[in-house]
Amino acid sequence: MTGYNAVSARNTERAPQGTGPYSQTVAFSHYNNISAQLPIDPASGAVVAGGITAQAEQCFKNIKAIVESINHKLTDIVRISLFVKHSSDIDAVHAVHARFFPDYVPALTTVVVGALPLDALVQVEALVSHGEGTIPNAPQAGDLVKVAKNTERAPLSPLSTQSVAFSHYNNLSAQLPIDPATGKLVAGGIKEQTRQCLKNIKAILEGIDVPFDDIVRITVFVKNLSDLDAVNGVYTTFFPDSAIARTVGYLPARTNVAVSALPLDALVQIEAVVSHGDGTPPQAVEDRHGIVIKANNTDNAPKSTLSTQTVAFSHYNHLSAQLPLDPKTGKLVAGGVKEQAGQCLKNIKAIVESIGHALDDVVKVNIFLKNIEDAAAVDEAYASYFPGGVPARRTVGVAALPEGALVQIDAVVSNAEGTPPSA
């Protein structure tokens, strides 16, 4: 498609290679999606010796090597996600993170997961701005400005910025149930904590004059999967938010993750990705206003009353996490993890094809495993759907998955045609 953005996958020998069927970085339009980096020494191919500090440093070194290999720098990163095996290691990982970002700090998500590949103690993932875009031989807007903002109406942290916008997206730091007035967790249980997380997100969006219904993707991290029904009860009081959204029944794409622990021993943490129709300077006003959100469901994949299967905005589609459910029966498919992974990917393929795309358009895949030892079996199924190993990827072990599933997969898809301006 001459004149259109193209998926651009790259690897460098300065960071670990051959650790899975994925690319180190996959760029599309104005973002680079970097695969989650383990603490592997690229020279030896082994996890580095030492404890949590040494491993965290190696993860960030690998991120830095990848970012520099595509002629970018760490300050081009808009979001960092930290996956830690032990909650007692969070402070040490944050200390390393602070050394790599002494001035500007990206949006940040930190969670404690059940397990990581290679029995690592930490894994680090990054999303990078890409001002030059990916139209072949036609730089789009190399001078786009990243806009980082905070508001006192939501919790402030020296480790992160509340909202980092670039081009047509805002990436928000994951919000804990912290009362911004006191800086402490709110009193009460899961309902009160969920409400505070969403109130914090709403305050951040109001601080940048963005409506709540401009959210395109939500990730809910819960400490106890049994709390999900209570979370959903509060969630439905926030979504849909506006009269227009209620009329069309708009809900963002969504992923639910049961983690082992959260910072401050919170019960819930919520992360949001937000559309940004105004864009970031110096995009011309006539080029950036009126881009619409396009939400879509298909009968060929499982549906949910709490989310939309895919939400497109500008040059990206965000897919809700797919469980290994047969869309006809709504039940888990028979078999083990390989069959379950195949069903997750079959559901993703059905959603992607329902919006006129192909799996070659996928730029990022996130895999959540009940048992990290199942990674090799998942890769067997994965290879038949992504034989070229192009998408960037993240794999983590989780405490539990909905429906008792062994695997859950979500994806981000390129959208070369973009979404149209409103009439």
Look at residue 286 in the predicted model and tell me its pLDDT.
Answer: 54
Write down which residue in 142, 160, 192 finishes a domain: 142
Q: Would you say residue 287 has pLDDT above 90? A: no
Whether 3 and 129 map to the same domain: the answer is: yes
Write down which residue in 108, 142, 176 finishes a domain: 142
DSSP string, 161-207: -SEEEETTEEEEPPBPSEETTTTEEPSSSHHHHHHHHHHHHHHHHHH
Q: What is the pLDDT of residues 90-116, one digit of tens each?
A: 999 999 999 999 999 999 999 999 999
- What's the rounded Cα separation, in Å, for the pair 330 and 328? 6
The answer to whether the bond into 16 is cis (omega within 30° of 0) is: no
Whether 120 and 168 map to the same domain: the answer is: no
Name residues whose C-beta falls within 8 Å of residue 71's C-beta, 6 or more positions apart in sequence.
none
User: How many other C-beta atoms lie within 10 A of the C-beta of residue 158?
Assistant: 7
Q: Cα 145 to the chain's mean position, in Å?
A: 22
This prediction's pTM:
0.96
Q: What residues pair up with 122 in beta bridges, in sequence order? A: 84
Q: Which domain holds residue 111?
A: 1-142
What's 26's domain CATH number? 3.30.1330.40
142 confidence band (pLDDT: 50, 70, 90)? low
289 confidence band (pLDDT: 50, 70, 90)? low
Whether 93 and 200 map to the same domain: the answer is: no
Domain tally for the chain? 3
Whether 423 and 314 map to the same domain: the answer is: yes
Look at residue 144 in the predicted model and tell me its pLDDT.
Answer: 87
DSSP string, 61-110: HHHHHHHHHTT--GGGEEEEEEEES-GGGHHHHHHHHHHH-SS---EEEE
Whether 48 and 99 map to the same domain: the answer is: yes
* 323 touches 302 (CB < 8 A): yes
Whether 328 and 363 map to the same domain: the answer is: yes
* 39 touches 68 (CB < 8 A): no
Whether 128 and 2 map to the same domain: the answer is: yes
Whether 8 and 26 map to the same domain: the answer is: yes
Would you state the structure tokens that stand for residue 320, as one six-digit string? 């809700």
Whether 261 and 160 map to the same domain: the answer is: yes
Q: What is the pLDDT of residues 314-363, one digit of tens each?
A: 999 999 999 999 999 999 999 999 999 999 999 999 999 999 999 999 99
Whether 276 and 326 map to the same domain: the answer is: no
| 252: phi then psi, degrees, rounded to nearest 5 | -70, 165
Whether 169 and 201 map to the same domain: the answer is: yes
Write down which residue in 289, 321, 340 finishes a domain: 289
Look at residue 208 in the predicted model and tell me its pLDDT.
Answer: 93
Whether 63 and 132 map to the same domain: the answer is: yes
